[in-house]
Amino acid sequence: MNRHLIARLAALAGLSLVAGAQAQQTITLFGLQYRVDRVDYFQNVSWPSPVFAGDTIRLFESEGVTWAGNNKLLLTADDMADIFIGNPDNWLVEVDVVSTNGRVTGLNYSRTVATIDTGAYDPNPGGITINQGASGLGAGGDAVIAGNAGALFGFGYRPGNFGQSIEFPTGSGCVAAAGQCNLPLAPFNTNAEDAAFVNGWGGRPDYFFVINQDLVALDESGVERWTTAGVRDSEFPVARGKPADASGPAIPAIPGGVAKGLAFARDTSKFPPALRRPNGVILVSFDRAYPALQAYDVDGTLLGTEFLSTSGTPLPPWRIDMSGCPASGQVSRPHIESIAIDPGRGRIFLVNQGAFASCNLIWVLTPCVADFDMNGVRDVSDIFAFLSSWFAGCAGQPGSGCNGSNADVDDNGVRDVSDIFAFLSAWFAGC
pLDDT digits 0-9 by tens, 46-70:
999 888 888 999 999 999 999 999 8
pLDDT digits 0-9 by tens, 388-417:
888 888 765 544 456 556 787 776 667 888
81 DSSP 8-state letter: G
Report whether pLDDT(178) > 70.
Answer: no
Coil/strand/helix, residue 107: strand
pLDDT band at 180 (very low <50, low <70, confident <90, very high): low
Contact 208, 192 (CB under 8 A): no
Q: Which segment of 104-108, 116-120, 333-337 scores lowest on mean pLDDT?
A: 116-120
Q: Which segment of 270-279, 282-291, 297-306, 390-399 scores lowest on mean pLDDT?
A: 390-399
Closest CA relative to residue 132, chosen from 2, 276, 267, 228 = 228
Top pLDDT among 59 and 138 is at 59
- CA 319, CA 253: separation in Å to the nearest integer? 19
- CA 211, CA 236: separation in Å to the nearest integer? 10
DSSP 126-144: EEEEEE-SSSSBTTTTEEE
Report whether pLDDT(273) > 50.
Answer: yes
H helices present in 16-157, as ranges: 41-44
- Neighbour-count burial for 64-83, b at 16+ CB within 10 Å, e otherwise: bbbbbeeebbbbbbbebeee
Amino acid at 54: G
Helix%, strand%, coil% for the chain, nearest 5: 10, 35, 50
Closest CA relative to residue 233, chosen from 199, 205, 269, 259 = 205
- CA 112, CA 80: separation in Å to the nearest integer? 14
pLDDT band at 160 (very low <50, low <70, confident <90, very high): low
pLDDT at residue 159, rounded to an integer: 57
Report whether pLDDT(162) > 60.
Answer: no
Q: Which segment of 79-88, 245-254, 288-297 scores lowest on mean pLDDT?
A: 245-254
- CA 205, CA 45: separation in Å to the nearest integer? 37
pLDDT band at 190 (very low <50, low <70, confident <90, very high): confident
CB count in 10 Å sphere of residue 359: 22
- CA 92, CA 115: separation in Å to the nearest integer? 6
pLDDT at residue 118, rounded to an integer: 47
Pairing, β 336-342 against β 232-237: unpaired
Pairing, β 192-198 against β 182-184: unpaired
pLDDT band at 187 (very low <50, low <70, confident <90, very high): confident
- pTM higher than 0.75, yes or no? yes
Contact 60, 357 (CB under 8 A): yes
Taking only Cα atoms into account, the Rg of the chain, rounded to an integer number of angstroms, comes to 22
Report whether pLDDT(247) > 80.
Answer: no
pLDDT at residue 357, rounded to an integer: 85
pLDDT at residue 70, rounded to an integer: 87
Top pLDDT among 238 and 168 is at 238
Report whether pLDDT(278) > 50.
Answer: yes
Q: Is 17 left (phi over 0), alpha (psi -120 to 50) or beta?
A: alpha
Top pLDDT among 39 and 377 is at 39
Report whether pLDDT(258) > 50.
Answer: yes
CA angle 364, 166, 136 (to 5 degrees): 80
pLDDT at residue 377, rounded to an integer: 79
pLDDT digits 0-9 by tens, 114-135:
887 645 556 678 899 999 998 8
DSSP 415-431: -SHHHHHHHHHHHHH--
Mean pLDDT of 148-155: 81
Report whether pLDDT(76) > 70.
Answer: yes
- 214, 286, 374 from 221: Cα distances, Å: 7, 10, 32
List, in order, residues 6 or more apart from 426 with CB less than 8 Å away.
368, 369, 370, 409
Q: Which segment of 214-218, 247-251, 421-425 scores lowest on mean pLDDT?
A: 214-218
Contact 183, 102 (CB under 8 A): no
How crowded is the C-beta side of 76, counted as CA atoms within 13 Å? 31
Mean pLDDT of 81-90: 82
Q: Which segment of 202-216, 227-241, 399-413 scores lowest on mean pLDDT?
A: 399-413
Report whether pLDDT(221) > 60.
Answer: yes
pLDDT at residue 257, rounded to an integer: 81
Q: Which segment of 208-222, 234-248, 313-327, 408-422 scores lowest on mean pLDDT?
A: 208-222
Mean pLDDT of 93-101: 89
Top pLDDT among 66 and 421 is at 66
How crowded is the C-beta side of 138, counted as CA atoms within 13 Å? 29
